[in-house]
Amino acid sequence: MNRKQTVLIAVIGILAYGGHKFYWLITPHRGDAFEIKEITGDSFKIRITAYSEKGVWLPGAYYVFESSPVSSNEWREFMTVRADDPNQILHDAARIINEQAGYAYMLNMYAVTTDGGRTWSVWDTSTELKNRQDIFSRAIGEVDVTADGTGRMKLYKFSHEPSTTYPKTKDYGRHWSVE
């Protein structure tokens, strides 16, 4: 191998290594955790971890929702929400209703379990309400689900909207209806 070939291979190696590092720097990914909130019930617990976002010009945050049986420290992720701004976790972002049911929500995402946190159903207002031309806001303002499974969700209201939208549920929030 002559000197030109050796230099060429070295330059390609350096560019490949540098390109990988550059790609990592400009690709959105989770950074350090800046807040953790945990809610514990009789049979399962919910943890929300807020991570700063790295690799973008205007970083936001990733909010990771996990559940675990009370007797375990093995957490399973059931929902991740990315936000434009690194805000604090809402005080009521998750709630355990009873031994089997609980829910969590943030921005346009709502997740519910009815089997003690083993499985979760995720409801995305952006997808589920996309055909509703009369509903402008897709962001969840608050949720209240009772022990019998009935409840309602309040969507944020823009100033030009005539009224606030309140989707309702009869199955802990696996399904929501808007009248």
Interval 37-59: pLDDT, tens: 999 999 999 999 999 988 767 78
Give CA angle at 113 (112, 119), nearest 5°: 120
For residue 174, being part of any structural domain is answered with no
Q: What is the pLDDT of residue 133?
A: 66
For residue 103, being part of any structural domain is answered with yes
For residue 175, being part of any structural domain is answered with no
Residue 86: which domain range?
Answer: 3-169
C-alpha separations of 5 from 14, 15, 17, 105 in Å:
14, 15, 18, 57
For residue 39, being part of any structural domain is answered with yes
Mean pLDDT of the region 15-33: 60
Note the pTM of the prediction, 2 decimals.
0.80
Q: How many domains does the chain have?
A: 1
Percent of the chain topping pLDDT 70: 81
For residue 176, being part of any structural domain is answered with no
For residue 86, being part of any structural domain is answered with yes
For residue 119, being part of any structural domain is answered with yes
For residue 141, being part of any structural domain is answered with yes
Asked whether the beta carbons of 123 and 73 are under 8 A apart, the reply is no
pLDDT in tens, 25-36: 445 667 889 999
